[in-house]
A and B are shown apart, each in its own frame.
Chain A
Amino acid sequence: MLTSEEIQKIEHEISLVPTRKNACIEALKIVQHNRGWISDESLKDVAEVVDMSPAELDSVATFYNLIFRRPVGRHVILLCDSISCYVMGYESIRDHLYSALNIQYGQTTADGRFTLLPNCCLGTCDCAPALMIDNDLYRNLTVEQLDEILTKYT
């Protein structure tokens, strides 16, 4: 069930566009912001509010890289694996994250703290390698800095 606050926010987005459907991505963003991801139940609830079938809404939800249709940890690490970071050796960062967190891409740590995902170019190629954790961007990364960065997220 969506909360009344979620429904209110979604209705506000709907009021800004010609038809209810046009607000569906904003609606998914609102729910994901609160719950971390879009469960099947949330998907059905949102579909009803924006006047779409769950299947149609899922076709939109699964199209976009940053709508999560599976549970994620409290913090999501998005590691850039595009060309400039490749040239600058992002693989050492990836390998260190694998061993420090004991997970691979697409997985969540046992304590639910981190999910690790590869990500397309973050647009900070002059400061490669780079990653984002939640809303924070880290650049010119070295393996040595990683452990300290991770301690900021509980």
Chain B
Amino acid sequence: MELPLTQHIVPGRKPLSLKEYEKVGGYQSVRKILKAMTPVEVQTLVKDSNLKGRGGAGFNTGLKWSFVPMGPEAATPKYLVANADEMEPGTFKDRLLLEGNPHQLIEGMIVAAYAIQATISYVFLRWAYKLAAQEITQAIQEAQEAGYLGENILGSGFSLEMHLHTGVGRYMCGEETALLNALEGKRANPRAKPPFPQVSGLYGKPTIVNNVETLCNLPHIVNNGAEWFKGLSQSPDSGTKLFGVSGRVKKPGCWELPIGTTIREILEEYAGGMQDGYLFKGLLPGGASTDFLVEEHLDLPMDYGSIQSAGSRMGTGTMIILDDQTCPVGFVHNLQHFFAQESCGFCTPCREGLPWVEKILLAIDRGEGKPEHLLTLDFHTKYLGPGNTFCALAPGAMEPLQSALKYFREDFERHIHEHHCPWSKVWQPSI
């Protein structure tokens, strides 16, 4: 099995230095594009490889780039931003790439910047990733000294500066337009689209924001080609993917696997199956803002289309397991507390609706629920759904709620009829 992204990562070991990274073929893709490819050729290659954004949305990366104005008339400077604000609950995949091989990210960022002719780039890193911040700072310095960053890279005439920016904590910063506001020193409210960031992004200039894992794929696509990248996968989607599992499994962790590996294989072969004494009840396939899947879905391949056809999303590819000894109402209440707290408060449905959902879930969990509460929750899943809010935060929050109401409705009803939590465990955010 070919695993390009993690081949040089040994958890717990210091990442490769620039010299070591070059010895195993590092920065070859930069030499190749600067010598032999035009920016548009790089865009076309990535589009043809069918690399889809690994931050959750799954949009074709090359296609996203193609909306950036090119040529001498285009506004300058253009910007490239690596979205390393990993803050989706249950998601810990980019941390592996950031701590494990920072030069791979920098190389990918140079490729992306060249493809859109960006001259200034940022790594927007989550404050909590202290080790990653150290490693990236050192790697940027090494890359600068070796001439891969800065003025006139390798004598090509192409220049790129790179800065590390650490955030100060807010889930909204993961949304690309909110991230740009945060970078500009503003509240991280999302922006209206259009204009899209490709045309008017950071400081009103053309900007691309790509996820860390997306960027880390680029050197390998440049070196090995689009067909090779497609061949890594066991599904219509190309490449490998970092998949993670957390919860009551024997060996929680994060592994690079071909896209299209089945959920069952990831759960049983890699995560070691459920811990003794715990039974599988359901899972969120790709972070907190994805719909539950249950037993009947375990043989589905983890690819964008298959998970979507089952009513969920592959999202970030990091699964959270619900076991039989965890109360599903408490589980969903915990998620809604997070979303209510992290709502930026800009649009009314999200600001008002999410706290209401949270309150109802706490009432149900305490045994104070009424049958009509379930209808109120159903109502919210529609009215906080896609198209009714300014950004994707509230619709994302509704995904685990609507599917919990579908698959675990009996558990919600038992709380209401029995007037207490059958698990005898009420989650209270701050007691």
Contact = CB atoms under 8 A, between A and B. Distances in A.
Task: Please indicate whether A and B come from the same complex rather than being unrelated chains.
Answer: yes
Interface of A: 16-18, 21-26, 28-29, 50, 59-60, 63-67, 81-84, 86-88, 91, 104-106, 118, 120-128, 132, 135, 137
Given A17-B185, A59-B187, A87-B322, A124 B334 contact: no
A26 B186 CA distance: 11
Contact of B323 (A63, A87, A106): A87
Given A22-B185, A123-B129, A87 B320 contact: yes
A22 B163 CA distance: 15
Contacts, number: 131
Given A25-B168, A67-B168, A123-B92, A87 B248 contact: yes
A66 B130 CA distance: 14
Contacts of A22: 184-185, 203
Interface stretch (B54-62, B83-91, B390-398, B411-419): B83-91
A126 B326 contact: no
Contacts of A132: 128
A126 B169 contact: no
A59 B321 CA distance: 38
B95 A60 contact: no
Nearest to A32: B168
Interface residues of B, number: 55
Contact of A82 (B245, B247, B338, B344): B338
B25 interface: no
9 contacts: A60-B186, A84-B89, A84-B246, A87-B331, A123-B126, A125-B90, A125-B244, A125-B252, A137-B130
B131 to A, nearest CB: 8
B247 A88 contact: yes
A150 B253 CA distance: 27
A88 B325 CA distance: 11
Contacts of B129: 123
Contacts of A104: 430
Given A60-B185, A66-B169, A83 B90 contact: yes
Chain B CB count within 10 A is highest, among A83, A87, A118, for A83
Contacts of B253: 126
A60 B182 CA distance: 9
Interface in B91-109: 91-92, 94-95
Contacts of A83: 89-90, 284, 288, 320, 331, 334-335, 338
A26 B253 CA distance: 34
B2 to A, nearest CB: 24
Nearest to B244: A126
Nearest to A57: B185
Given A25-B185, A83-B334, A125-B246, A118 B91 contact: no
Contact of A128 (B95, B246, B341, B429): B246
Contact of B169 (A16, A23, A64, A127): A64
A67 B187 CA distance: 12
Contacts of A122: 128
Contacts of B127: 66
A27 B215 CA distance: 30
Given A24-B185, A64-B170, A84-B89, 14 more contacts: A60-B185, A64-B168, A67-B168, A83-B334, A84-B90, A87-B321, A87-B331, A105-B430, A121-B87, A125-B91, A125-B246, A125-B252, A125-B318, A126-B244
Interface string B334-353: 11001001101000000000
B171 interface: yes
B321 A82 contact: no
Give the 8 A-B residue pairs with the shortest CB-CB distance, closest first. A65-B169, A125-B246, A126-B252, A66-B169, A82-B89, A121-B89, A64-B168, A84-B246
Contacts of B90: 82-84, 121, 125
Contacts of A29: 168
Contacts of B293: none
Nearest to B133: A135
B185 A21 contact: yes
Chain A CB count within 10 A is highest, among B246, B248, B323, B330, for B246
A126 B185 contact: no
B98 to A, nearest CB: 10
A84 B188 CA distance: 25
B408 interface: no
Contacts of B203: 18, 22
A22 to B, nearest CB: 4
Nearest to B247: A87
A28 to B, nearest CB: 8
Interface in B214-273: 244-248, 252-254
